[in-house]
Structure 1
């Protein structure tokens, strides 16, 4: 059971971290463009990317929490740090990114708000923080998976003579 939970935790946290890295690259690429281009791109992003974030982050949090409960010793400590980092991601998203997303969903490409660049900057800084936290969490889970003992029993037939 632990192996399945660990695999699911790795899968969802890896997908989520990769997704955040892709958005970070896209957002960094947009820094050289004007308000209309930025607004249009954000409106396209907001169409479905929140759904992708939800279907990867929520299972990552749940499976990593279950893994933390099932883990033992140093493995548990590493997994607990990973879950703490995922909670930082979740809290940053709720406190900063989602409220900005909600505001940006009402922006007009033809008439973006005058403070669009400062709003963009706040969103991008928060996104960078959560991206680093998600990548570190995934890295810790990978390390944990390599260090975790794999229980296996080797059966030697009774009729084998040495």
Structure 2
């Protein structure tokens, strides 16, 4: 059972890291190069879609990390997995307090229009998102190390 939990956690978190990294490194930069306000519409649609999916993914990652930590307690990898779970929890806190408020505004832009400072808002979101991706990568690396 422990092996299944370890594999499920590493795959689950690894896929999440891949999605978030691709958003940061590829998707949003592509959106920003779209002509006219195409990037705004694309970001707004992405904010609505991912805003529904990602909370479940993030919470699932924290739960899996916490369960693995409990099961690993007393074993050499316990501290490594516990730190990874704590980083996953930190990513949730960052998301809720820093990124979700901006994302919620972006999600409404296609129906309410774009505010004059929209570029500053998405720039702030992008910078915060890169930090969150760094936290997620660190958690993923620790999970892989804990699995090894």
User: With structure 1 as the length reference, what TM-score do the two structures score?
Assistant: 0.81
* C-alpha distance after superposition, 1:65-102 (max 9, x if no partner): 01111113430110011011111210111011111111
Specify whether residues 136 and 110 from structure 1 end up closer, same or farther in structure 2 by C-alpha distance, changes over 3 A only. same
Following the alignment from structure 1 to structure 2, what is the Cα–Cα distance between the partners of residues 131 and 51? 19
Q: Which has the higher helix share?
A: 2
- Unpaired runs of at least 5, structure 2: none
Aligned length: 146
What do you get for the CA RMSD once the two structures are aligned?
A: 2.0
Work out which of the two has the higher radius of gyration on C-alpha atoms and give 1 or 2: 1
Following the alignment from structure 2 to structure 1, what is the Cα–Cα distance between the partners of residues 23 and 109? 19
User: For residue 160 of structure 1, what is the aligned residue in structure 2?
Assistant: none
- Unpaired runs of at least 5, structure 1: 147-162
CA contact (8 A) 2:87 2:136 kept: yes
- The alpha-carbon deviation at position 9 of structure 1 amounts to 1.1
Following the alignment from structure 2 to structure 1, what is the Cα–Cα distance between the partners of residues 36 and 83? 39
- The alpha-carbon deviation at position 35 of structure 1 amounts to 7.0
User: For residue 158 of structure 1, what is the aligned residue in structure 2?
Assistant: none
Following the alignment from structure 1 to structure 2, what is the Cα–Cα distance between the partners of residues 42 and 133? 23
CA contact (8 A) 2:31 2:43 kept: no
Matched, 1:101 2:103: yes
Runs of 4+ in 1 over 6 A off after TM superposition: none
User: For residue 44 of structure 1, what is the aligned residue in structure 2?
Assistant: 45
- The alpha-carbon deviation at position 104 of structure 1 amounts to 1.5
Following the alignment from structure 2 to structure 1, what is the Cα–Cα distance between the partners of residues 113 and 21? 29
- The alpha-carbon deviation at position 48 of structure 1 amounts to 1.6
Q: How do residues 75-114 of structure 1 correspond to structure 2 at under 5 angstroms?
A: 75-108=77-110, 111-114=113-116
